[in-house]
A and B are shown apart, each in its own frame.
Chain A
Amino acid sequence: MMSTLAPFLPTTLVIIGAFVLLLISTVRSIHLKSYLYITVVFLLLAFAVALPQFGTRSGVYVLPKVFGHTYLADDFATLFDLMFLGGGALTLLINAIYLRKRDYYNGEFFALFLFAIFGMMTLAHANDLVPAFISLELTSIAIYVLTGYHKNYRGSNEAMLKYLVLGSFAGAMFILGTAIFYGVAGTTVISELAAFIQIHGSEHLLALSTAGLFIMITILFKIGAVPFHSWLLDVYLGSPFPVTMFMASVLKVALFAIALRLYLILYVDTGLIGNQIISFLAILTLIGGSWLAISQSMLKRMLAGSSIVHGGYMLIALSSIGLGAHLAAPAIMFYLLSYFISSVGAFGILSYIAADSNRPLTYEDFKGMAHRRPYLSAMMAISMLSLSGFPSTIGFLGKFYIFMSAIESGQFALAGLGIFIAFVSVYYYFKLIAMMYFYPCEEETCEQHPFEIHVSTLLIGLMALITIWGGIGTSLIPWFPGADGIISIAKQAIGSLP
Chain B
Amino acid sequence: MIEILETSLFALLALGVLTGGLMILLARRPATHAMGFFIALLSVAGLFALLHQSFLFFAQVLVSVGGVVIVTLIMILTVNLREADLPPEPHQTRWLIGAAVIIAPLSLLLYQTLTTLGDAFPPVSDTFGGTRSLGTLLFHDGVLPFEILSVLLLTAMVGAIIIGKKEQSYDRES
Contact = CB atoms under 8 A, between A and B. Distances in A.
A382 B22 CA distance: 54
A66 B163 CA distance: 36
B144 A358 contact: no
Nearest to B122: A186
B173 to A, nearest CB: 5
A295 B104 CA distance: 33
A137 B168 contact: no
A98 B97 CA distance: 46
A357 B156 CA distance: 32
Contact of A68 (B117, B140, B158): B140
A358 B155 contact: no
A180 interface: yes
A71 interface: yes
Contacts of A241: 174
Nearest to A127: B144
Nearest to A179: B114
Interface string B146-158: 0011011011101
Interface size class of A (residues with CB under 8 A): 35 or more
B143 to A, nearest CB: 6
A169 to B, nearest CB: 12
Given A15-B151, A138-B148, A358-B173, A66 B143 contact: yes
B78 to A, nearest CB: 18
A211 B174 CA distance: 40
Interface in B133-174: 140-145, 148-149, 151-152, 154-156, 158-159, 162-163, 168-174
Interface residues of B, number: 33
Interface in A131-156: 131, 134-135, 137-138, 141-142, 144-145, 148-149, 151-153, 155
B153 to A, nearest CB: 9
Contacts of B120: 183-184, 186, 204
A99 B146 CA distance: 34
Interface string B64-77: 00000000000000
Given A67-B143, A142-B155, A148-B163, A184 B117 contact: yes
A42 to B, nearest CB: 15
B105 to A, nearest CB: 12
Contacts of B163: 145, 148, 151, 160
Interface in B11-39: none
A70 interface: yes
Interface in A395-409: none
A416 interface: no
B159 to A, nearest CB: 3
A207 B118 CA distance: 11
A215 B144 CA distance: 20
Contacts of B156: 141
B116 interface: yes
Majority-rule SS of B interface residues: helix
Contacts of B142: 130
Contacts of B159: 112, 141-142, 144-145
Interface in B76-121: 109-110, 112-114, 116-117, 120-121
B151 A118 contact: yes
Given A131-B144, A134-B152, A152 B168 contact: yes
A210 B110 contact: yes
A142 B162 CA distance: 11
A294 B70 CA distance: 48
B158 A357 contact: no
Contacts of A135: 148
A91 B109 CA distance: 42
B174 A130 contact: no
A141 B149 CA distance: 12
Residue in A67, A112, A155 whose Cβ sees the most chain B Cβ within 10 Å: A67
Interface string A289-328: 0000000000000000000000000000000000000000
A122 to B, nearest CB: 6
A358 B172 contact: yes
A9 interface: no
B113 A210 contact: yes
Contacts of B117: 180, 183-184, 207
Contacts of B171: 152-153
A141 B162 CA distance: 13
B174 A152 contact: no
Contacts of A67: 143-144
B174 A128 contact: no
Closest 4 CB pairs of A and B: A145-B159, A138-B152, A103-B170, A210-B113
Given A119-B148, A130-B142, A359-B173, 13 more contacts: A22-B158, A103-B169, A111-B158, A122-B148, A130-B145, A131-B145, A145-B159, A151-B168, A184-B117, A204-B120, A207-B113, A207-B116, A358-B174
25 contacts: A67-B143, A68-B140, A102-B170, A103-B168, A103-B169, A103-B172, A115-B151, A119-B151, A134-B149, A134-B152, A135-B148, A141-B152, A141-B155, A141-B159, A153-B171, A153-B174, A155-B174, A160-B163, A183-B120, A184-B120, A204-B116, A354-B174, A358-B173, A359-B173, A359-B174
